[in-house]
Amino acid sequence: MQYTEDQKKAIEARHRNILVAAAAGSGKTRVLVDRIIAQLLARECSVDEMLVVTFTNAAATEMRERVDRMIGDAAKDVWLSTFHSFCARFLRREIEATGIYKRNFVIYDASDSQTVIKECLKEMNLDDKQFTPASVQNAISNAKNQLMGPKAMERDADNFHQKKIAEVYRLYANKLRNNNALDFDDLLMISVVLLEENEDIRTKYQGRFRYILVDEYQDTNGAQYQLTKILAARHHNLCVVGDADQSIYGWRGADIRNIMDFEQDYPEATVIKLEQNYRSTKNILAAANAVIEHNVNRKPKELWTENATGEKLTSYQAMDERDEAQFITTTIMKQRTIFNASYGDIAILYRTN
């Protein structure tokens, strides 16, 4: 299998903490999987001593399938999953140490969570137009992503509206505890709290995971950052892969400082850049670079490709978001019809003012 020099460095590096700054289309999933295999084949660790976490079920499934193809049955013992799946597995084993929850806890999805919040608003006689269930749910979620309980949220509240949301949070948390239930954000927050407060459990898992790999690190929130930091504290073999220029999930709690400050958090870290793109034409990359260079607080990186120059790009200034969505949809369908293209062959760049 052919690799570029930078890909080889990322796969074979024997440094301890590593940041792989992987640009779009640079083959980062392949690099991440092959790094897993390289470490296993080099007998640096057994399969159950490696933790690999990513953000979506689709990404975890793709990675799992690649590892399965390469190492067969042994792949089932690699802890490879989303953050939430890892925490659910961890808590099924350890949550009774909290003294609050039983290991047969139920997990509430977003709909279940909103139903309980509506009950809380009704019990507190709060106007659901002023305190919409969705906005309250989002505020509580953001607090949990920052590892804030109801007391901390109430302490930080600086107006009536925020104080009331903190009261809703307290009632909501009580209802979940009484039902032996956790929401998705609890999976992360309670895992972190349990590791921070229970030395035996912390030591056990820090010792277990000799190698930790995190995909899409630019999308980590406060709880995910802290979870990773705690687990990697003993062996210092943390490899994160991500791209600050692709950080688009600030609205759901992602903190770009996690990737921007990686070298500050881990001063001995090695940074490896993957800048060659295998997916797009030169014209698309030139446009992408022109858009990206306007990002503030970014680290220098230049996407490049050996692919053809390609067709010229079309620029369209939409009147509003509906017009923009209509243009994008129409363009995609037209390209698929004319060129029999797959969705992965079409690139649309946009910049908002």
Residue with tokens 């906005």: 135
What is the H or E stretch that residue 139 is in? helix 133-145
The pLDDT value given to residue 113: 98
- Count of residues in the chain: 353
Say if CB 223 and CB 189 are below 8 A apart.
Answer: yes
The whole-number pLDDT of residue 152 equals 97
Amino acid at position 38, single letter = A
Measured distance CA(143)–CA(150) in Å, rounded? 8
Task: Please count the other Cβ atoms lying within 10 Å of the Cβ belonging to residue 292.
Answer: 21
Q: What is the crossing angle of helices 184-197 and 133-145, to 10°?
A: 30
Cβ atoms within 10 Å, residue 222:
21
Q: Given the structure tokens 């978001």, which residue do they identify?
A: 321
Task: Round to the nearest angstrom and report the end-to-end CA distance of the chain.
Answer: 43
Quote the CA–CA distance of 281 and 278 in Å, as a whole number.
9
The per-residue pLDDT string of the chain (353 residues; one tens digit each, 9 = 90 and over) reads 588 889 998 988 877 899 999 988 898 888 888 888 877 667 667 888 989 998 888 888 988 888 888 888 877 888 999 999 999 999 999 999 999 999 999 999 999 999 999 999 999 999 999 999 999 999 999 999 999 999 999 999 999 999 999 999 999 999 999 999 999 999 999 999 999 999 999 999 999 999 999 999 999 999 999 999 999 999 999 999 999 988 888 878 889 999 999 999 999 999 999 999 999 999 999 998 888 888 877 888 888 999 999 989 888 899 999 999 999 889 888 877 766 655 555 555 555 54
Residue 353: the pLDDT is: 47
CB–CB of 254/235 below 8 Å? Answer: no
65-104 residues labelled b (16+ CB within 10 A) or e (exposed)? ebbeeebeeebeebbbbbbbbbbbebbeebbeeeeebeee
Q: And the tokens for 205?
A: 């898992």
Which candidate, 349, 340, 214, places its Cα nearest to that of 294? Answer: 349
Q: What is the pTM (predicted TM-score) of this model? A: 0.87
pLDDT at 252: 80
